Protein backbone atom coordinates (compact mmCIF):
# COMPACT_ATOMS: atom_id res chain seq x y z
CA UNK A 1 0.00 0.00 0.00
CA UNK A 2 2.78 2.43 0.93
CA UNK A 3 4.64 1.54 -2.27
CA UNK A 4 1.58 2.30 -4.38
CA UNK A 5 0.98 5.61 -2.63
CA UNK A 6 4.62 6.59 -3.11
CA UNK A 7 4.45 5.81 -6.81
CA UNK A 8 1.25 7.82 -7.21
CA UNK A 9 2.70 10.79 -5.34
CA UNK A 10 5.93 10.75 -7.33
CA UNK A 11 4.22 10.52 -10.71
CA UNK A 12 1.69 13.21 -9.79
CA UNK A 13 4.45 15.64 -8.88
CA UNK A 14 6.73 14.95 -11.84
CA UNK A 15 4.16 14.72 -14.63
CA UNK A 16 4.28 17.65 -17.02
CA UNK A 17 0.75 18.99 -16.90
CA UNK A 18 -2.16 18.42 -14.61
CA UNK A 19 -5.27 20.12 -13.36
CA UNK A 20 -5.75 23.54 -14.87
CA UNK A 21 -2.50 23.63 -16.85
CA UNK A 22 -3.91 22.77 -20.28
CA UNK A 23 -0.91 20.47 -20.86
CA UNK A 24 -0.76 16.69 -21.09
CA UNK A 25 1.62 14.59 -18.96
CA UNK A 26 4.82 13.46 -20.62
CA UNK A 27 5.39 9.71 -20.85
CA UNK A 28 8.93 8.41 -21.11
CA UNK A 29 9.50 6.76 -24.51
CA UNK A 30 6.35 8.21 -26.09
CA UNK A 31 5.59 11.41 -27.98
CA UNK A 32 1.94 12.37 -27.48
CA UNK A 33 -0.82 11.34 -27.52
CA UNK A 34 -2.05 14.35 -29.55
CA UNK A 35 -5.58 15.00 -30.79
CA UNK A 36 -6.92 17.40 -33.40
CA UNK A 37 -9.72 17.82 -35.96
CA UNK A 38 -8.49 18.05 -39.58
CA UNK A 39 -10.85 18.32 -42.58
CA UNK A 40 -13.78 16.78 -40.74
CA UNK A 41 -11.70 13.98 -39.23
CA UNK A 42 -10.62 13.40 -35.66
CA UNK A 43 -6.96 12.36 -35.54
CA UNK A 44 -5.47 10.86 -32.37
CA UNK A 45 -1.76 10.06 -32.70
CA UNK A 46 1.24 8.96 -30.67
CA UNK A 47 4.83 7.95 -31.47
CA UNK A 48 6.69 5.12 -29.72
CA UNK A 49 10.27 6.39 -29.70
CA UNK A 50 11.98 3.05 -28.99
CA UNK A 51 9.82 0.76 -31.13
CA UNK A 52 10.96 0.15 -34.70
CA UNK A 53 9.03 -1.34 -37.63
CA UNK A 54 9.95 -1.47 -41.32
CA UNK A 55 6.40 -1.64 -42.66
CA UNK A 56 2.94 -0.39 -41.76
CA UNK A 57 -0.72 -1.34 -41.86
CA UNK A 58 -4.03 0.57 -41.90
CA UNK A 59 -7.07 -1.29 -40.57
CA UNK A 60 -10.68 -0.08 -41.14
CA UNK A 61 -12.96 0.15 -38.11
CA UNK A 62 -16.09 -2.05 -38.24
CA UNK A 63 -19.36 -0.09 -38.68
CA UNK A 64 -17.40 3.14 -39.31
CA UNK A 65 -16.62 2.98 -43.01
CA UNK A 66 -14.44 6.10 -43.25
CA UNK A 67 -12.48 5.56 -40.03
CA UNK A 68 -9.29 3.57 -39.42
CA UNK A 69 -6.39 2.63 -37.17
CA UNK A 70 -2.86 2.88 -38.58
CA UNK A 71 0.56 1.71 -37.43
CA UNK A 72 3.83 2.28 -39.27
CA UNK A 73 7.24 3.98 -39.34
CA UNK A 74 7.14 7.61 -38.24
CA UNK A 75 8.27 9.90 -41.07
CA UNK A 76 9.71 12.51 -38.68
CA UNK A 77 11.67 10.17 -36.38
CA UNK A 78 13.06 6.64 -36.02
CA UNK A 79 10.05 5.59 -33.95
CA UNK A 80 6.70 3.99 -34.71
CA UNK A 81 3.57 6.06 -35.36
CA UNK A 82 0.11 4.96 -34.18
CA UNK A 83 -2.84 6.94 -35.59
CA UNK A 84 -6.56 6.64 -34.95
CA UNK A 85 -8.63 8.45 -37.58
CA UNK A 86 -12.36 8.97 -37.04
CA UNK A 87 -14.55 10.47 -39.76
CA UNK A 88 -17.08 12.90 -38.28
CA UNK A 89 -19.95 11.85 -40.61
CA UNK A 90 -19.63 8.30 -39.26
CA UNK A 91 -21.15 9.60 -36.01
CA UNK A 92 -24.13 11.41 -37.50
CA UNK A 93 -26.33 8.32 -37.59
CA UNK A 94 -27.32 5.77 -34.93
CA UNK A 95 -24.32 3.48 -35.38
CA UNK A 96 -23.56 3.49 -31.66
CA UNK A 97 -26.98 2.33 -30.49
CA UNK A 98 -27.19 -1.04 -28.75
CA UNK A 99 -23.47 -1.51 -28.13
CA UNK A 100 -22.28 -3.51 -25.11
CA UNK A 101 -20.55 -1.69 -22.21
CA UNK A 102 -16.75 -1.98 -22.45
CA UNK A 103 -14.10 -1.87 -19.71
CA UNK A 104 -10.30 -2.12 -19.62
CA UNK A 105 -8.60 -5.19 -21.15
CA UNK A 106 -8.72 -7.90 -18.49
CA UNK A 107 -12.00 -6.60 -17.05
CA UNK A 108 -10.93 -3.79 -14.73
CA UNK A 109 -13.21 -0.70 -14.70
CA UNK A 110 -12.44 2.22 -16.98
CA UNK A 111 -10.84 5.00 -14.91
CA UNK A 112 -12.74 8.28 -14.40
CA UNK A 113 -16.02 6.60 -15.42
CA UNK A 114 -18.51 6.18 -12.56
CA UNK A 115 -20.03 3.00 -14.00
CA UNK A 116 -16.60 1.65 -14.95
CA UNK A 117 -17.74 0.94 -18.52
CA UNK A 118 -19.08 2.74 -21.60
CA UNK A 119 -21.04 1.46 -24.62
CA UNK A 120 -18.61 1.07 -27.50
CA UNK A 121 -17.01 -1.22 -30.02
CA UNK A 122 -13.85 -2.67 -28.43
CA UNK A 123 -11.65 -3.88 -31.27
CA UNK A 124 -8.42 -5.68 -30.38
CA UNK A 125 -5.80 -5.52 -33.13
CA UNK A 126 -3.08 -8.21 -32.81
CA UNK A 127 -1.07 -6.62 -35.63
CA UNK A 128 -0.82 -3.40 -33.59
CA UNK A 129 0.68 -4.75 -30.32
CA UNK A 130 -2.83 -5.96 -29.30
CA UNK A 131 -4.00 -2.37 -29.14
CA UNK A 132 -7.67 -2.07 -28.15
CA UNK A 133 -9.70 0.56 -29.99
CA UNK A 134 -12.82 2.04 -28.37
CA UNK A 135 -15.40 3.73 -30.60
CA UNK A 136 -18.91 4.55 -29.37
CA UNK A 137 -21.53 7.27 -29.04
CA UNK A 138 -19.86 8.72 -25.93
CA UNK A 139 -16.20 7.75 -26.20
CA UNK A 140 -13.38 7.55 -28.73
CA UNK A 141 -9.95 6.29 -27.82
CA UNK A 142 -7.52 3.44 -27.54
CA UNK A 143 -5.57 1.34 -25.06
CA UNK A 144 -1.98 0.55 -26.02
CA UNK A 145 -0.19 -2.21 -24.04
CA UNK A 146 3.03 -0.83 -22.56
CA UNK A 147 4.81 -3.25 -20.21
CA UNK A 148 7.43 -0.68 -19.19
CA UNK A 149 4.91 1.07 -16.96
CA UNK A 150 5.96 0.04 -13.44
CA UNK A 151 3.50 1.74 -11.10
CA UNK A 152 2.71 -1.08 -8.68
CA UNK A 153 -0.68 -1.89 -10.21
CA UNK A 154 -1.99 1.66 -9.85
CA UNK A 155 -4.03 3.53 -12.48
CA UNK A 156 -3.12 7.21 -12.81
CA UNK A 157 -5.55 9.51 -14.62
CA UNK A 158 -4.90 12.96 -16.05
CA UNK A 159 -7.03 15.46 -17.93
CA UNK A 160 -6.35 15.08 -21.68
CA UNK A 161 -6.12 18.25 -23.81
CA UNK A 162 -6.09 18.97 -27.53
CA UNK A 163 -3.47 21.18 -29.20
CA UNK A 164 -5.46 24.28 -28.22
CA UNK A 165 -5.11 23.27 -24.54
CA UNK A 166 -8.85 22.51 -24.36
CA UNK A 167 -9.89 19.50 -22.22
CA UNK A 168 -11.33 16.68 -24.36
CA UNK A 169 -11.03 13.59 -22.17
CA UNK A 170 -8.81 11.47 -19.94
CA UNK A 171 -5.28 10.10 -20.35
CA UNK A 172 -4.49 7.22 -17.99
CA UNK A 173 -1.35 5.25 -17.16
CA UNK A 174 -2.58 1.75 -16.32
CA UNK A 175 -0.42 -0.52 -14.16
CA UNK A 176 -0.45 -4.31 -14.39
CA UNK A 177 -3.44 -6.21 -13.02
CA UNK A 178 -3.36 -9.00 -10.41
CA UNK A 179 -2.02 -11.39 -13.07
CA UNK A 180 0.86 -9.10 -13.96
CA UNK A 181 -0.70 -8.28 -17.35
CA UNK A 182 -2.65 -5.53 -19.13
CA UNK A 183 -0.42 -2.56 -18.32
CA UNK A 184 -0.64 0.24 -20.85
CA UNK A 185 -1.68 3.72 -21.86
CA UNK A 186 -5.36 4.64 -22.19
CA UNK A 187 -6.55 7.74 -24.06
CA UNK A 188 -10.31 8.37 -23.92
CA UNK A 189 -12.04 11.37 -25.45
CA UNK A 190 -15.63 12.47 -24.97
CA UNK A 191 -17.45 12.81 -28.27
CA UNK A 192 -19.41 15.83 -27.05
CA UNK A 193 -16.26 17.74 -26.03
CA UNK A 194 -14.79 17.03 -29.44
CA UNK A 195 -17.91 18.52 -30.99
CA UNK A 196 -18.69 15.53 -33.18
CA UNK A 197 -21.96 14.57 -31.50
CA UNK A 198 -23.65 17.95 -31.86
CA UNK A 199 -26.42 18.19 -34.42
CA UNK A 200 -24.77 19.83 -37.45
CA UNK A 201 -26.31 22.77 -39.23
CA UNK A 202 -27.37 22.56 -42.88
CA UNK A 203 -24.29 24.51 -43.93
CA UNK A 204 -22.06 22.12 -41.98
CA UNK A 205 -23.71 19.12 -43.60
CA UNK A 206 -23.20 20.66 -47.04
CA UNK A 207 -19.53 21.32 -46.26
CA UNK A 208 -19.01 17.77 -45.01
CA UNK A 209 -20.77 16.34 -48.08
CA UNK A 210 -18.21 18.03 -50.32
CA UNK A 211 -15.39 16.23 -48.47
CA UNK A 212 -16.66 12.72 -49.31
Tens-digit pLDDT string for the chain (212 aa) = 434 443 444 444 344 444 455 677 777 778 878 888 777 777 888 888 877 778 888 888 776 778 888 888 888 888 888 888 877 666 555 555 567 888 999 999 999 998 999 888 787 877 667 888 887 777 888 898 887 766 778 899 988 887 778 888 888 999 988 888 899 999 888 877 665 544 444 554 455 455 44
For residue 205, tell me if it sits in a domain: no
Nearest to 116 by CA among 106, 108, 124, 105: 108
If one counts the domains in the chain, the total is: 1
**CA 138 – CA 189 distance, rounded (Å):** 8
For residue 121, tell me if it sits in a domain: yes
For residue 208, tell me if it sits in a domain: no
For residue 212, tell me if it sits in a domain: no
For residue 209, tell me if it sits in a domain: no
Q: Is 184 in contact with 172 (CB distance < 8 Å)? A: no
For residue 211, tell me if it sits in a domain: no
| Range of the structural domain that residue 172 is part of | 2-198
For residue 203, tell me if it sits in a domain: no
**Length, in residues, of the chain:** 212
For residue 173, tell me if it sits in a domain: yes
Residue 104 sits at the vertex; the CA angle it makes with 47 and 91, to the nearest 5 degrees, is: 75
Amino acid sequence: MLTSMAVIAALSMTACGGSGTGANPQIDGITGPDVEIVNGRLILSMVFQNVYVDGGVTIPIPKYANSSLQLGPDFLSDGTLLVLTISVPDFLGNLGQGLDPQSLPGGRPLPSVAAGALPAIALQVPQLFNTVLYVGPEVIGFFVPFKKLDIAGAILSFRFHNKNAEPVGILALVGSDANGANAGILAMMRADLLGIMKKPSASTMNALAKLY
